[in-house]
A and B are shown apart, each in its own frame.
Chain A
Amino acid sequence: MNKTYQKKHELWLSITFASFAISDEEIKSRLYDFAQIAFRHMKWLGSDILAAGDDYNYDRDNHLYKRSTVFEIIKALQEEIQNIQASYPQTPLAERIKTDDIYLLEYLSQVLKNSANNKEITAFNMKREWLDKNLAQDQIDALTLFLFDESYKEYELILVYAYMQARTSNIQQFNVYQDLIDESHFHLKSFGNMMAIMGILALPRELHEMTYIVKDLEQFIVDGIAEEEAAKIMCKELSDAIKDEELSKFFDFINYQESYHIELMKKLL
């Protein structure tokens, strides 16, 4: 299987979760933009691999930069980006990817030049608290389990829909998959940042091919709609359980988004 694709997949996750881990809003936002670019790299690399008659999978090495300072995370990212350079092929796409990576490396160097950026990382401290919210332990527990379940689910949906999008020639299906991918990116970002606030940031576990190689699209969609319904119920239960107006409204908002996902998925039938 294609190792460049795997490394890009890992790099996308590394940049994404570095963004979640760092609390400085400007660095967080810039890194998230770069993560989205890395995801597009992954998508384009996948297209080229398929066009060449080869294939890729979602195997990856599990690792997360559980570092204690911003600079430690940034330096680890720099190293990973430098290490991937030699594996890019000699193609116009690879040239584009390399220039993006060089610009990201330049940005990371700039961050390192300002010692004021080197703040403590609290995303992995396991404190499970939300400082400006008065949540009881049972609410914290419910929120914890929800975030682990749903961050995995959003990661899974992003990759499953991307896998199917790369293999369809139907324009409507392509567009629906894109919408669903975009929506799941937003949900993953929201949940990842919440996990970091609570000190429980962790990578979603790896996807097995039984999850993303879909043999029966119609059955997959029917099952997917049932899963969205289940996610809606979880959101509603969490919204009811959390005695904080801001968080409760957020989960209602996610709940309504899941409703529209079901409508999008129906278009695939």
Chain B
Amino acid sequence: MYEDVIIPEGVSPEALKHIMEPQNYGKLENPNCIGVALDEKTKEYVIFYTILDGELIKDVSFATNGCQDTVVIGSMFSEMIKGNDLNYANGAIAKMHEKLGTMTAQQQVCAEIVFTAFIASLKNFENLQNGQEEELHILKMKESCEAENMPKEGESNE
């Protein structure tokens, strides 16, 4: 359950596992919705492929040109929500937001870009259901991990 999730920090064995062999990484065959979250400043992106069956998230995968933190969080998050329903996914995002409060500002931006890509895929699904022609849905990030006032690791984010 996501209530028990522990965000891996630094170079823990758990983080290494996700860095070396990210789960659900790459393109998904026949997704029924695709979302992209884009950091226009750094050009970092996360693309999320989702297969929805009603409320059930049957399958997901993601890809990114981002840093290892993005990969680790994308790998963990996709594992958490795969096979669960949308309500569970929303709960997982909220729970991970709570946990992220203990992380650096940069890591929070990395997490946010992963969640935003998933949300963009849901928006793509909604638009397609409403008859719009949309190959994928893009959401632009408000925060960039290259923001000038971004605290560095070890500095307070508050």
What residues of chain A have their CB less than 8 Å away from a CB belonging to chain B? 59, 62, 126, 128, 140-141, 144-145, 148-149, 156, 200, 202, 205-206, 208, 210-211, 223, 226
Contact = CB atoms under 8 A, between A and B. Distances in A.
Given A200-B16, A202-B20, A223-B43, A208 B11 contact: no
Contact of B47 (A128, A141, A205, A208): A208
Interface in B123-154: none
B80 interface: no
B25 A148 contact: no
A205 B67 contact: no
Contacts of A210: 36, 45, 47, 63, 65
A128 B21 CA distance: 17
Given A62-B26, A144-B11, A208 B16 contact: no
A156 B43 CA distance: 14
A128 B42 CA distance: 31
Given A144-B11, A210-B45, A156 B68 contact: no
A200 B26 CA distance: 22
Contact of A206 (B10, B26, B42): B26
A11 B78 CA distance: 29
B73 to A, nearest CB: 14
A149 B67 contact: yes
B27 interface: yes
Interface string B1-32: 00000000011000010011110011100000
Nearest to B136: A210
A205 B67 CA distance: 11
B92 to A, nearest CB: 23
A200 B27 contact: no
Given A141-B10, A141-B11, A148-B19, A211 B25 contact: no
B31 to A, nearest CB: 13
Contacts of B105: none
Given A206-B63, A208-B27, A208-B63, A200 B20 contact: yes
A210 B27 CA distance: 12
A203 to B, nearest CB: 9
Contact of B71 (A140, A200, A205): A205
A126 B43 contact: no
A148 B65 contact: no
Nearest to B15: A145
Contacts of A145: 10-11, 68
Contact of B68 (A126, A149, A223, A226): A149
